[in-house]
Amino acid sequence: MSRRLYDISRPLSDSTPVWPGDQPFSLRWTMRQDRGATVNVGQVTSTLHLGTHVDAPLHFDSDAPGIDQLLTEVFVGTAQVVHVAGKSLIGVEDLKALAGGPAERLLLRTDSWSDPQCFPATIPCITTDLPAFLASKGIRLLGVDVPSVDQLDSHDLPNHRALAKHGIAILESLDLSSVPEGLYELIALPLRLVGADASPVRAILRDEK
């Protein structure tokens, strides 16, 4: 029997919300068959922090690696989905039951982004001591179903920096709304954009059963 797939990527279109002031998504045609061209060719303009995406350390540290320098193995492998709905802060107490087993990737389902067509006004956030705790559990990637691992009004991005310090990759704006808790195989590879600070991804979960 085939293993179930969950597409946990947010769709990309003109209606995909972006950070206020950032470059929205736009698709235009540079060649069209109905205009006499032999093929249809599109051009995309957008922020790299669009929809479901990976932040590179370069995003918040000009001397840190860009997206093309991150290890691809971090974005493929066993992931644990944990439900933490209804919490404004997500900390060690909420994740103490985390097994030290095969999952090196943790995905937090908060169910807090109620209207995916609008950028949220507020989001839940992780506590400052959580990155060190996750590193002690062998976590190499943290994924969230909101646009950031920091508060939306944060300027110094302490959680981004703490996660990077502990070698934990950041995957943001997942759609986990239909995914039960449990273990899955994650595939969420960023594009090999040389010197870039982020990359959209097509994130997929495959049932382990």
**Active-site annotation, residues:** 59
Go through the chain and tell me how many residues it has.
209
Of 146, 144, 28, which Cα lies nearest the Cα of 79?
Answer: 144
Rg of the Cα atoms in the chain:
18
From residue 3, how far is each of 38, 49, 185, 202, 209 by CA, in Å?
A: 40, 30, 10, 18, 7
User: Cβ atoms within 10 A of the Cβ of 202, count?
Assistant: 14
Token output for 115: 């209207």
Token output for 93: 């107490």
Classify each residue of 144-179 as buried b or exposed e, where b means 16 or more C-beta atoms within 10 Å of its C-beta.
bbbbbbbeeeeeebbbbbbbbebebbbbbbbbbeeb
DSSP 159-185: HHHHHHHTT-EEEES---TTPPSEEEE
Element of type H or E holding 158:
helix 158-165
